Amino acid sequence: MRTCVGCRRTGSRSDLLRVVVTGGGSLEPALVVDAARSLPGRGAWLHPDRRCLELAERRRAFGRSLRHAGPLDPGPIGEYLEAWRG
């Protein structure tokens, strides 16, 4: 069981998306959906729902959950959700 960083409800791994921070060194840190659930590093879990993404953005949950100090753009997650729905 995992907890969604947006709505704070629990769900199974198969019901939630795993989000990680990629980049480092000379690359700009970015949020990425880990569809295979195999990328290294700390992950945050999110329901594949636009409302949960908005709640997570409003609460600044990604930075806290991923232990990343600094701004993170949730845009790639929104794009993934749009493509996933469509």
Query: Strand 44-46 and strand 10-11: pairing?
Result: unpaired
Q: Alpha-carbon distance 37 to 20, whole Å? A: 9
* Residue 86: per-residue pLDDT: 62
Provide block-wise average pLDDT over 10 residues at a time, the chain (86 residues): 97 96 80 93 95 96 93 92 82
- The residues facing 2 across adjacent strands are 11
Q: Break the chain into its structural domains and give their ranges.
A: 2-85
Is pTM beyond 0.75 here? yes
pLDDT score recorded for residue 84: 78
* Per-residue confidence (pLDDT) for residue 29, from 0 to 100: 86
Q: What is the pLDDT of residue 70?
A: 85
Distance CA 43, CA 65 (A): 8
Can you give the pLDDT at residue 34?
Answer: 96
Q: Which CATH superfamily is domain 2-85 in?
A: YlxR-like (3.30.1230.10)
Give me the pLDDT at residue 23, please: 79
Backbone angles phi, psi at 68, to 5 degrees: -120, 120
pLDDT of residue 62: 95
